[in-house]
Copies of this chain bind each other. A is one copy, B any other.
Amino acid sequence: MESGSRERQPAVAGLSEAELLARIFPRLAMGSAHTEATLLGPGDDAAVLAVPDGRTVISIDTQVEDQDFRLAWANGYRTTGYDVGWKAAAQNLSDINAMGASATSMVVSLTLPPDTPVSWVEDLADGLIAGIRELGAGRCSVAGGDLGRGREISVTVAVLGTLDGGAAVLRSGAQPGDVLALAGTAGHAAAGLALLESDVPVDRLNPEQRVFLELQCRPRPPLSAGPAARAAGASAMLDISDGLVRDGRRLAAASQVAVDLDPEQLARLASVLQPAAELLRADAREWVLSGGEDHGLLATFPPGIQLPPGFTAIGSVQALGINEVPGVRIAGRSADTGGWDHFAH
């Protein structure tokens, strides 16, 4: 969206809440036609969802303008409503995936400045549904939502999922001797962020470089990997949203172990990022270690288990030494890269 465009197009302030909902609901309902979870959809005080498993997994996440995305980036890229909708879907679906569950329903709360173009909001609804579909969350539909005004665009999604009778994969189950494995990419979204914040115009990027930018704006979490890891017997798992080291440290702390990364695997992951790293004279290995937002999965598997499709071994789980605090090692030595924190940065 161009910064001047809010004035030129019909804005949400010109519609009543009911009129705006009437523009959005048909787009969202397109995604829910083939699901069974919604017993009562939008239009009443609340929705009613089927939970045949007797348990539901639930997560909530908010994306805010200028914090989680910028409408206009330094390199000239304009974030679309479609991007924001897709990213909201992807981030939330990833949290369900990380428990070994499959998403069944979403409810969405949108806060919009009055001058937001109606077309931008329609685009957001389209991106949300496209994210759900194209990422493979075919059982998930949008069951309801809420609209309100604010000074900045804010999108909150609460997402529910099912374990289909299985046990959730927690962060706390890793054991010394387990294999550490990664599903999805690491550092691609960080490379994309660096490109967006660079002075290299977006139209000067080659396709190899542009793919990182697109992954930052429209992340692609590996949604089949979570339930597959659960079925295969993963001992621990979490979503890499704040970087391999930072999230690895969380898994280590919850399991009271050390997580050891294999430098050869880190080099392999970094080499994929060279087209962006060379352009920006950046450190690809730093992106791999501290870049979040790819929403890959970091999981541990007992030794001898065949890794499910999508996972690659990148290290191992080790026992803590005497007086050692849980953390991340690289080839046995402590790794102290930060990663993202919402407040302290």
Report which A residues bind B (CB closer than 8 A).
12-13, 15-20, 39-40, 43-62, 64, 66-68, 94-96, 98-99, 101, 105, 107-109, 111, 114, 143-152, 154, 156, 158, 160-161, 163, 168, 170-171, 238-239, 254, 341-344
> Chain B: which residue is nearest A52 at the CB level?
B54
The answer to whether B48 touches A168 (Cβ under 8 A) is yes
Q: How far is the CB of A253 from chain B (nearest CB, A)?
A: 10
Q: How far is the CB of A109 from chain B (nearest CB, A)?
A: 4
Q: How far is the CB of A339 from chain B (nearest CB, A)?
A: 11
> Chain B: which residue is nearest A156 at the CB level?
B156
The answer to whether B55 touches A48 (Cβ under 8 A) is yes
Q: Which residues of B contact A171 (CB under 8 A)?
A: 43-45
9 contacts between A and B (CB under 8 A): A44-B99, A48-B56, A48-B57, A59-B146, A60-B107, A64-B150, A109-B156, A147-B343, A149-B343
CA–CA, A170 to B46, complex, Å?
9
Q: Which residues of B contact A55 (CB under 8 A)?
A: 39, 48-51
The answer to whether A168 touches B40 (Cβ under 8 A) is yes
Q: Which residues of B contact A52 (CB under 8 A)?
A: 54
Q: Which residues of B contact A111 (CB under 8 A)?
A: 62, 64, 154
The answer to whether B95 touches A45 (Cβ under 8 A) is yes
Q: How far is the CB of A341 from chain B (nearest CB, A)?
A: 5
Give the residue of B39, B64, B163 whose beta carbon is less than 8 angstroms from that of A149.
B64
The answer to whether A150 touches B154 (Cβ under 8 A) is yes
> Chain B: which residue is nearest A98 at the CB level?
B45
Q: How far is the CB of A245 from chain B (nearest CB, A)?
A: 15
> Chain B: which residue is nearest A167 at the CB level?
B48
The answer to whether A146 touches B61 (Cβ under 8 A) is yes
